[in-house]
Amino acid sequence: MPVCIDAGVNSFKMFMAYPGVFYATDGEILRAMQQAAETGAMIMMHAENGIAIDELVARALAEGKTDPVQHGLTRPPELEAEATHRAITLSKVTGSPLYVVHLSAAQALRAVTEARGSGQNVFAETCPQYLYLSLDDLARPDFEGAKYVASPPLRPRCHQQSLWRGLRTNDLSVVSTDHCPFCFKEQKELGRSAFSKIPNGIPGVEHRMDLLHAGVAAGELSLARWVEVASTTPARMFGLYPRKGIIAPSSDADIVIYDQFAVYLMHDQPVQTLAAYGSVIIPAL
């Protein structure tokens, strides 16, 4: 870790999921957090209770439940919340900052909100798929649900409003993608006989900005907040600011001019709605 930090890396991702692959024990997490606390680095945590999830997966397969929707049913939101709370506790013990990646569940968000409310240095992100897709997509017939297998899994729709609210209140600080695409044929199809063999991941980079702007159009986010969660805040948190994340002298000239008129026109919005919108200039991350 010190070598990486000297090279300019200030964050390290760990997994409480995937035993036997990426899984880190509580002791390993504690040691990494102690090092992060001493060096000013930040631990990024995939927070799901992988040990318990593997038991639920094994039980489902033993009962002949092999469809893609079982991916979501065997990774319940309570096990994301438990792992999130445990990571928060370990970060409190060590004094290390914590960044919870791709948070999907209202229960996990409550744990983050409580920690932040108590003054703890805890941050979290969500992803567009959790704002728009749901467990219903995992349940699509004819193995179509395999296209939506990612971890954490898509949740019931009732979680979505909690996530939008978290973005407005800054309990969710960033919207990333966890971009990890697989081809349906020859890759996702590996799991036709067992949902546990479906590669975990979906694409997201290309459509992140448009999907977040749809939230602006729906009144979920302000224009300023849209730019904050997509560009300015991640640049600040990961050591890129002010070279990135701001339009200013000496900063990189990476900008996106977002023509809201054209976007609304594509979505057949009424002319009176279009008149209220112009262009937005966004510092690209």
Q: What CATH number should be reported for the domain holding residue 194?
A: 3.20.20.140
Mean per-residue pLDDT, 181-185: 96
pLDDT digits (tens, 9 = 90+) for 123-138: 999 999 999 999 999 9
Would you place residue 116 in the very low, low, confident or very high pLDDT band (cuts 50, 70, 90)?
very high
pLDDT digits (tens, 9 = 90+) for 255-266: 888 776 666 544
Q: What is the DSSP string of 204-245?
A: -TTTHHHHHHHHHHTTSS-HHHHHIIIIIHHHHHTT-TTTSS
In the sheet where 174-175 sits, what is the strand order?
11-15, 42-46, 98-100, 122-126, 174-175
Q: Is residue 278 part of a domain?
A: no
pLDDT at 271: 38
Q: Can you read off the two tokens belonging to residue 188?
A: 């996702």
Q: Can you read off the two tokens belonging to residue 245?
A: 């994340």
Q: Is residue 74 part of a domain?
A: yes
The answer to whether residues 229 and 174 touch, using CB atoms and an 8 Å cutoff, is: yes
Q: Is residue 151 part of a domain?
A: yes
Between CA 139 and CA 234 the distance in angstroms is 33
Instruction: Name the domain count of the chain.
Output: 1
Question: Mean pLDDT: which of 132-146, 208-222, 251-265 is highest?
Answer: 132-146
The answer to whether residues 164 and 221 touch, using CB atoms and an 8 Å cutoff, is: yes
Q: Is residue 125 part of a domain?
A: yes
Q: Can you read off the two tokens belonging to residue 56?
A: 């639920």
Q: Is residue 19 part of a domain?
A: yes
Between CA 157 and CA 115 the distance in angstroms is 25
pLDDT at 253: 80
Q: Is residue 42 part of a domain?
A: yes
DSSP tag of 100:
E
Q: Is residue 261 part of a domain?
A: no
Between CA 99 and CA 84 the distance in angstroms is 10
Residue-number span of the structural domain to which 16 is assigned = 2-206
Question: Does residue 176 have a pLDDT over 70?
Answer: yes
Question: Does residue 189 have a pLDDT over 60?
Answer: yes
Give pTM, 2 decimals. 0.92
Q: Is residue 167 part of a domain?
A: yes
Mean per-residue pLDDT, 150-161: 98
pLDDT at 264: 53
